[in-house]
Amino acid sequence: MSLTAVVLAAGLGTRMRSPMAKVLHPLLGRPMVRWIVDALQAQGANVVVVVHHHEDQVRAALAHAGVRFARQSAPRGTGDALLSALPELPDGGPVLVTAGDTPLLRPLSVARLLAEHRGQATVAAFEARDPVGYGRMVEGIGIVEEAACTPRQRLIRLVNSGFYVFDAAYLRRRLPTLQPHPPKDEYWLTDLVDAEAKVVSGFLEEEFLGVNDRAALAEARDILSRRINREWAAEGVEFDSLDHAVVEASVRLEPGARVGYGAVLRGTSHVGGDVGEQCVIVDTHIEAGAWVRAGSVCEGAIVRSGAIVGPLARLRPGARVESGAHVGNFCEVKNATIHSGAKVNHLSYVGDANIGAGSNFGAGAITCNYDGVRKHHTEVGAGVFIGTNVALVAPVSVGDGAIVGAGSVVGQDVPADAIAVGRPELKIHPGRAEKLRARKRAAKG
């Protein structure tokens, strides 16, 4: 039987103090509402999202999620929100209903509530550490909203999670009959959960953490992050700390990969190698056997097996560090390939370039790739020695086996096996240092 799920996401989210729709705030690389949609779709549900506030943003963010939308003309409460989804519901069979701001609900719990569903309404309940704000589960009545609770009922800690399974025919019959509650004249979905409804308790409070402000958003991030890290650890990934590493949902890791303390892995990154402490890795492929050392920032790069990057290196889009190549501290590489065994070890910028196999790119050597208007290419062959502080003024090439002396400014092509050196003349004045110092001290007074 086909299964429909409704996500109520028409609320404003005032407490986020954000120009963005609450349900679109990102959690580990995905909009919040996407987590709940995924959890429902993982159980084979056809998802309907109820929208109103920030409607266009929410529709756009879910454009490729394979969901349908229902529009609530004004937010008049959860009962009214579900009523606006009625045209999208089947005539019979189970309908899951949940809020759009509870991103921690797990597919496992969706499956559990579905399996336990009997009759017309089934609700997931949990013991809240602090029940304030929740509807209370009251025996012989159903759900009593906090505003309607007697002082005794207020002490009940078993609360409504806001996650339900209803029989579609029951919804068709009952939703149009809901009556508004003063003073705000809201229609409460909870009125459909009466004494006959089945209450399923024992759910984790954590799964129903409602993200209403940015503190809760950060808390949700911590919980989700730990969940993801645990799953990868079970797959054979080594973590220095489960709490102090962020691996976005879209990242792929291989068994044997290592994620150092404080590392952040984002986007389409794929990591088989070793990522050191405090690295930020975005859309980057780090092969097994590669080592990206502490504090490096890599974006849109490829690091092959046996390569070493960092500590404190920066790889920008199009950087390729081939097998056995090294990119060391305070080096920046952009749109450039460092071929096998080549070394760019200290304080260099390599942009729009090839550094050939086995070449050495000296400390502080720089490709001058930008002339103020356009970018130009630098080609360094195999087995080349580029001395310290060389400036390669692109477009330029240095042939295989050539040597370029320290401090040279290379503005024309260097043939293979040549030596190129160009330095201003160095003048030495023996014994004059003390004289100069004395003059400077006198001037200072």
Catalytic site positions: 346
What residue 72 binds from Mg ion, ligand UD1, none (CB within 5 to 8 A, per partner kind)?
ligand UD1
Q: Determine the Cα–Cα distance for residues 417 and 112; give it in Å rounded to an integer.
A: 72
CB under 6 A: which stretch of 114-122, 188-196, 227-235, 317-325 binds ligand UD1? 188-196
213 binds ligand UD1 (CB under 6 A): no
72 or 122: CB nearest ligand UD1:
72
Closest distance to ligand UD1 from the beta carbon of 117 (Å): 18
75 binds Mg ion (CB under 5 A): no
75-114 footprint of ligand UD1 as x/- string (CB under 6 A): xxxx-xx-----------------xxx-------------
Closest distance to ligand UD1 from the beta carbon of 163 (Å): 8
Whole-number CA gyration radius for the chain? 31
**Burial zone of 208 (CB within 10 Å; 0-12 exposed, 13-18 middle, 19+ buried):** buried
How big is the chain, counted in residues?
445
CB under 6 A: which stretch of 39-47, 71-79, 248-256, 426-434 binds ligand UD1? 71-79
189 binds ligand UD1 (CB under 6 A): yes
Closest distance to ligand UD1 from the beta carbon of 104 (Å): 12
CA atoms within a 13 Å half-sphere pointing along the CA-CB vector of 94 = 23
Please list, residue by residue across 114-143, b when 16 or more beta carbons sit within 10 angstroms of its beta carbon and e when fewer do. Answer: beebeebbbbbbbebeebeebbbbbeeebb
DSSP lists the bridge partners of residue 6 as: 48, 97
405 binds ligand UD1 (CB under 6 A): no
267 binds Mg ion (CB under 5 A): no
200 or 307: CB nearest ligand UD1:
200
CB under 5 A: which stretch of 57-65, 203-211, 255-263, 361-369 binds Mg ion? 203-211
DSSP lists the bridge partners of residue 144 as: 136
CB under 5 A: which stretch of 167-175, 202-210, 253-261, 389-397 binds Mg ion? 202-210
Q: Determine the Cα–Cα distance for residues 213 and 367; give it in Å rounded to an integer.
A: 47
210 or 311: CB nearest Mg ion:
210
- The answer to whether 215 and 223 have CB atoms below 8 angstroms apart is no
Closest distance to Mg ion from the beta carbon of 99 (Å): 6
- The answer to whether 344 and 371 have CB atoms below 8 angstroms apart is no
Map residue 152 onto helix, strand or coil.
Answer: helix
Residue 55, CA distances (Å) to 21, 58, 63, 87, 303 in order: 8, 5, 12, 18, 42
What residue 359 binds from ligand UD1, Mg ion, none (CB within 5 to 8 A, per partner kind)?
none
Binding residue count for ligand UD1, defined by CB under 6 A: 27
What residue 100 binds from ligand UD1, Mg ion, none (CB within 5 to 8 A, per partner kind)?
ligand UD1
210 binds Mg ion (CB under 5 A): yes
The one among 134, 203, 232, 349 contacting ligand UD1 by CB under 6 A: 134
219 binds ligand UD1 (CB under 6 A): no
- Token pair 């009125």 in the structure block, residue: 191
145 binds ligand UD1 (CB under 6 A): yes
- Pairing type for strands 274-275 and 291-292 reads parallel
31 binds ligand UD1 (CB under 6 A): no
Q: Determine the Cα–Cα distance for residues 391 and 210; give it in Å rounded to an integer.
A: 56
Closest distance to Mg ion from the beta carbon of 68 (Å): 23
String of DSSP letters for 57-105: HHHHHTTTTT-EEEE-SS---HHHHHHHTGGGS-SSSEEEEEETT-TT-
User: Which residues here bind ligand UD1, judged by CB under 6 A?
Assistant: 8-11, 50, 72, 75-78, 80-81, 99-101, 134-135, 143, 145, 159-162, 188-190, 210
User: Which residues here bind Mg ion, judged by CB under 5 A?
Assistant: 210
